[in-house]
Structure 1
């Protein structure tokens, strides 16, 4: 239940420090490393086409 609660708190945008304190941890890194995981939609959101970072050649943008 703790794993699910931590993951859902992250998903709702609750700051990691707040989440860590609610779970009784002194170290935020421990909380994030131990109790969170990515949902499929988060993986998809993180994947993007590299062409989005670069303007098309000849567009005049720097």
Structure 2
């Protein structure tokens, strides 16, 4: 996915999806509201997740 800012608008586009699946449409957000939400998430720790350790799938090593 590509995130771009055009003046006061933030656009999400160019989704990468598995073959034979449809990509979602472009999304557009008002830039000030988008910035405020990013700041809020940064303050509260929302959206943070812990990644699982990497390893082989489906069997023993």
The two structures share one fold, judged by TM-score above 0.5 = no
Q: Which has the higher contact order (CA 8 A, sep 6+)?
A: 1
After TM superposition, the score normalised by the length of structure 1 is 0.26
Larger % of helix: which? 1
| Bigger Rg, which one | 1
After TM superposition, the score normalised by the length of structure 2 is 0.26
